[in-house]
Amino acid sequence: MTIDPAQLVRWYGQARRDLPWREPGVTAWQILVSEFMLQQTPVARVAPIWLDWVARWPTPSATAAAGTADVLRAWGKLGYPRRAKRLHECATVIATEHGDLVPDDVETLLTLPGVGAYTARAVACFAYRKNVPVVDTNVRRVVARAVHGLPDAGNPSAVRDLADVAALLPDDPSAPVFSAALMELGATVCTARSPKCGLCPLSVCAWRAAGHPPATAAPRPAQRYAGTDRQVRGKLLDVLRASAIPVLRDQLDAVWLTDPAQRDRALDSLLVDGLVEQTADGRFALCGEGG
Ligand code: SF4
């Protein structure tokens, strides 16, 4: 089965969410920033941070001129803070090697720090209206259901997933809107746990037509956060973000007393990732603030 582009595009025109990075006048750089932030964080948490970020650093060169510590602070509680560092590196490369302009072709975008297959195509499509397939988890799920009649997308395969979506793209200027609409459908209607088929604009869906056959594989357990190294890293970074000066080891140790070995591992990983540094007198600071 296939997806009728006209149906989907028409629905998108009426049902799309008003997200700040979709407003007129948003630049390619600002769209790229949103894509970095959205990689692993929900829209509702990204929107306020993105608004502050682009007001403060509207261009790659403005971002590149900021200190790494400022960038890590502004990233706030978005999680996975390595993304902030990569975004800062990406801004520096665009400012110094691309005349402060985000490249518009997928191949060049892929050479930028932190820009992978999804982000490169998302920027080419949403910022430059290029007719390229954009594949994220939501898109994979919609295609699995509507086209292949499967309840879930299964394991990702870059080649197969891109070919799947490329085959659906209309060969006309509506392709970028179609891509945005496919993603929006997966995010708001064809959701993982409770697809709202009654609200779906697609008149043809293979999975619905087959009577929603269940998955044969056991569902993957939900990712937990509590008690993970990720949580401990977040707590350590909270202490460093809140302090204008380097902090003592004891101040860091106090945030996670239950498992000192885990805390040490988390701190080591922050040092290795270049998010935190140690001062000559043994205290700790966000990268760039250790003196
Ligand atoms: S009909 Fe249901 S399962 Fe099919 S694409 Fe629409 S929301 Fe998803």
Residues tagged active-site: 35
Prediction pTM value: 0.92
Summarize pLDDT for 9-20 with one digit per residue, the tens: 999 999 999 999
- Closest alpha carbon to 116 in 142, 95, 140, 87: 87
Sign of the Cα pseudo-torsion (253, 256, 258, 264, in order): negative
pLDDT tens digit string along 222-237? 778 889 999 999 999 9
Average of per-residue pLDDT values in the chain: 95
Point out which residues pair with 277 in neighbouring strands.
285
Q: How far apart are CA 262 and CA 255, in angstroms?
A: 12
Please tell me if the CB atom of residue 145 comes closer than 6 angstroms to any atom of ligand 1: yes
pLDDT higher than 80, residue 219: no
Quick: pLDDT tens for 39-72: 989 999 999 999 999 999 999 999 999 999 999 9
Question: Relative to the CA of 141, which ligand 1 atom is closest?
Answer: 8
Distance of CA 246 to CAs 116, 240, 267, 278, Å? 34, 7, 14, 8
pLDDT of residue 47: 97
- Give the distance (Å) from ligand 1 centre to CA of residue 180: 16
Is residue 216 very low, low, confident or very high in pLDDT (cuts 50, 70, 90)?
A: confident
Separation of 195 CA from ligand 1 center, angstroms?
Answer: 6
